[in-house]
Amino acid sequence: MENIILGGRYELLEIIGEGGMARVYKAHCRILDRIVAIKILKEEYSRDKSFVEKFKTEALSAARINHPNIVNIYDVGQEGDIHYIVMELVEGRTLKEIISDEAPLAVERAVDIAIMICDGVHHAHEKGIIHRDIKPHNILITDHGMVKVADFGIARAISNATITYGNNNIVGSVHYISPEQAKGETVNRTTDIYSIGCVLYEMLTGRAPFTADSAITVALKHIHDEVPSPRKINPDIPVALESIIMQAMQKNPRQRFASAQEMRNVLLGINMQNSEEYKLKRRNENRMAGAPKLFEGDEAVKKKKKLSPVGIAIIVIAVIGLLSGVLLSGGGLFGKEVIVPNVEGMDYKQADEELSKVGLVMSVVGKEYSSEFEKDAVISQDPGKDRKVKEGRKIEVVISKGSELITVPNITGIDIKDAVTKLGNVGLNMGNIEKVYDEEKPEGMVISQDPARGTKHEAGTSVNVVVSEGKQPDRVSMPDLKGLTIDKARTVLEDNKLVLGEIKRQESTSYVADQIAEQDTEPGVMVEEGTTINVVVSTGPGPQVKTKVLQFKLPSDDVTMNVKIIVSDLQGKRTTYDQTHQGGDVVYTSINYYGTGTAEVLINDKTVKTYKLN
């Protein structure tokens, strides 16, 4: 990989790490002039489609997350057979290295780390992502003490049915795996909470909750064995903190904390309860460790240094005076208590002023995008409003970076279904869909979009599109269906490449039962091939019978001739008169008909006259 430049901008400098699937390189981004980390899929996996998809899933999952306690993903790309992800380079050590060198960690430090892990994981959960592989190896601690959760390589969307077995192998590190993962069952956000409990256990004891000679045995212990008491290994662990670990590591997911945020809030309470006691204990230990030792036989010196009753009295009076001065000045023995004001929603400068008024110090612990809070406004504070705290206490706040602006991707030239997925992956919505005929674009292809690609808009913005319906079909003249039966109408429509649609039935005095009385498109109208035509069929009673008298004189030829009258009306075609006459006779007859029609006079089977019936 020496002298390789990826994407025309990332110059690989040196390898800094290696995992099961990928190697991590330190690299220089020539465009932004910054040092980054690049994860490159190993050559033996780059030709395997399943591994490549898994690698891409890591990038797509992590790229949706932006949080101070999660390693940022800057870019993802492919160059030939090289698949890579560009990430934030974190200067520091893994939590696994810190545990190996320093465990057991101090209670306050371990809890602080766990709180920041919970913050990052909760943010990912809110974005629909489960990490599924929380372990000390995937947690980076910067030189300034900031926790960064890394490697979402096997993260999946919560909405998917997630099974932890792939190619018959358990996914996730076995020493931190949840019982449901070990059994290959569906996972949810409490799966990560179980793993956080395992990590906290190891920070405080220096060992994983379950160990064995084989991975399968460890997995079985997660499923069946009770968690060993961490206080038996490290008595400095408070009882309440042990209870938190035990709740996080419950076998039944529903008995764990409902969210990483809930676990974080309980851990905050532990730190507040134990911080002063812990600090005092450590100060005493340090003082004792640094105190000078008396030489053997110096008991006389000890006795000489005992204070006289008068000396003791003077000291007591001085202490009483000191305490009186503190109390009269409005403070308590351990400092004055103040009420925390509500600064959420305020501009951070105003919030700083409000906190300063009551002797509190604002500490910015993170910045997040927010569509609810304006840029530079306080999103949240800890401790919260109306809490009683000591003067000088730091109030941790998260500041809004304003609405997250998302670059609209190009969705023209792709199928509408793929366009919906592509927009959803970046946090945008599909808006109005207008369909038009296009001689060149296939049906379903997006022809244009608004807003245009490359523009930046807030998350949740709708993108309107114009979609091709394909080539416009030919047009035909609508046939007259009135008076036809359903079967006959269907045949006529099919001959014209039209489709019979909805059939309703209602009374009609114009058409007899089972004849079509109405059609939703009038005869003669030009319609597109494939158009659906809805009709109304008569249930009767139909038109009343009418009578018409016909009178006409036959030609004067001196011959015998046959005379017929054929009536065509709503009841069909029928012969109503059939007689033999001499030339010159006058024919006088009446006929019955229904609705409208014709009466046709034939002499020797040749039509000589037609009467309209109406």
Multiple choice CATH, 337-400, 3.40.50.300, 3.30.10.20, 3.40.50.1370, 3.40.50.10860: 3.30.10.20
Phi, psi of 88 (to 5 degrees): -65, 135
Q: What is the pLDDT of residues 120-140, one digit of tens each?
A: 999 988 888 888 889 999 899
Which amino acids are annotated catalytic?
133
Token readout for 476 is 């035909």
**Which residue ranges make up each domain of the chain?**
5-88, 93-276, 337-400, 405-468, 475-541, 545-613
pLDDT in tens, 444-465: 999 999 999 989 888 788 999 9
Q: Please tell me the distance from the alpha carbon of residue 573 to that of residue 192, in angstroms, as a whole number.
A: 83
Classify 475-541 by CATH class. Answer: alpha beta
| Cα 203 to Cα 207: distance, rounded to the nearest angstrom | 8
Of all residues in the chain, what percent are helix, strand and coil, respectively (each to 5)?
Answer: 30, 35, 35
| Cα 146 from Cα 73, distance rounded (Å) | 17
Give the pair of three-digit tokens for residue 522: 């009038």
Mean pLDDT of 191-209: 96
What CATH architecture is 545-613?
Sandwich (2.60)
Superfamily of domain 93-276: Transferase(Phosphotransferase) domain 1 (1.10.510.10)
pLDDT score for 307: 47
Residue written as token pair 């996080």: 248
pLDDT tens digits along 459-507? 788 999 999 988 877 888 899 998 899 999 999 999 999 999 999 999 9
545-613 shares the fold of 337-400? no
Q: Which CATH number fits domain 405-468: 1.10.3470.10, 3.20.20.70, 3.30.10.20, 3.40.50.1860?
A: 3.30.10.20
Contact 580, 588 (CB under 8 A): no
Neighbours of 311 (CB within 10 A): 10
pLDDT in tens, 43-89: 777 777 777 776 677 677 677 788 889 988 888 888 888 888 898 89
CATH 3.50.30.10 is right for the domain spanning 5-88? no
207 against 144, higher pLDDT: 207
Q: Which two tokens stand for residue 107?
A: 């209670």
Asked if pLDDT for residue 290 goes beyond 50, the answer is no
